[in-house]
Amino acid sequence: MPPRIVQVRQGLLKKNDAIAAALRADFAAAGTFVVNLVSGPGTGKTLLLERTLSALRDRGRRPAALVGDLATDNDAVRLARSGAPVRQINTHGLCHLEADMVGRHLQGWNLAEHNYLFVENVGNLVCTASYDLGESLRVVLLSVTEGEDKPLKYPTLFNTADAAIITKCDLATACEFDSAEAERNLRAVRPGLPIVSLSAKTGDGMDEWLAFLESRRGSEG
């Protein structure tokens, strides 16, 4: 039985990777920079994304977003307040997004009208690591409320990331969070990982995050 389970999983991932590769080609042709936001639940992904969408629109950019959750469209309704196009993906119990879900929920959108597409993945520190969504950039969030050792406990997700954001930094003192140790742990798992520390609530660090996004998008031509 175990070998059969492994074969099924490998088949699913192979299919997902093929769809993701096709999506990546479509995104590149349209000039759309795609960011996959991954983390455990409660790290502040939605607030960060809401502030990011609003800030990019203020700068004349044309962002859009897809939001993954097991149920409800609460986050999509919230993000729509930014004025950016937003669609909800309900996974109905699945603990991660897959490339075909992204492709299906983009139907009817002209990708060329959006120079940024953000995908807010389901809050999960395990399953999201395995599924390529065709993104240009995978960003993992670590909240100060989670503790400094999360990268060591869940190395696969952090090792697959292209950048990390330490969130809720306005609470760092109250949580006795050691930022230096957290950064050491992140880079122990992923050497050279770019790290941005911020508070979406207060706005501290948001300019650095936006500058990082613009530089990465610019590097792709």
pLDDT tens digits in sequence order for the chain, 221 residues long: 555 555 556 777 999 999 999 999 999 999 999 999 999 999 999 999 999 999 999 999 999 999 999 899 999 999 999 999 999 999 988 899 999 999 999 999 999 999 999 999 999 999 999 999 999 999 999 999 999 999 999 999 999 999 999 999 999 999 999 999 999 999 999 999 999 999 999 999 999 999 999 999 988 76
pLDDT at 93: 85
pLDDT at 190: 97
pLDDT at 169: 98
pLDDT at 219: 84
The structural domains of the chain, with segments of one domain joined by +, span 2-219
pLDDT at 4: 58
pLDDT at 51: 98
Residue 92 Ramachandran class (φ > 0 left, ψ -120 to 50 alpha, else beta): left
Residue 91 amino acid letter: T
Question: Taken in order 118, 119, 123, 126, is the CA torsion positive or negative?
Answer: negative
Q: What is the CATH number of domain 2-219?
A: 3.40.50.300
Buried residues in 24-44 as b, exposed as e (16+ CB within 10 A)? beebbebebbbbbbbbbeebb
pLDDT at 221: 60
Contacts of 138 (CB under 8 A, 6+ apart): 35, 36, 38, 160, 161, 162, 163
pLDDT at 11: 72
- Phi, psi (5° rounding) for residue 167? -105, 170
Contacts of 93 (CB under 8 A, 6+ apart): 70
Dist CA 48 CA 35 (whole Å): 13
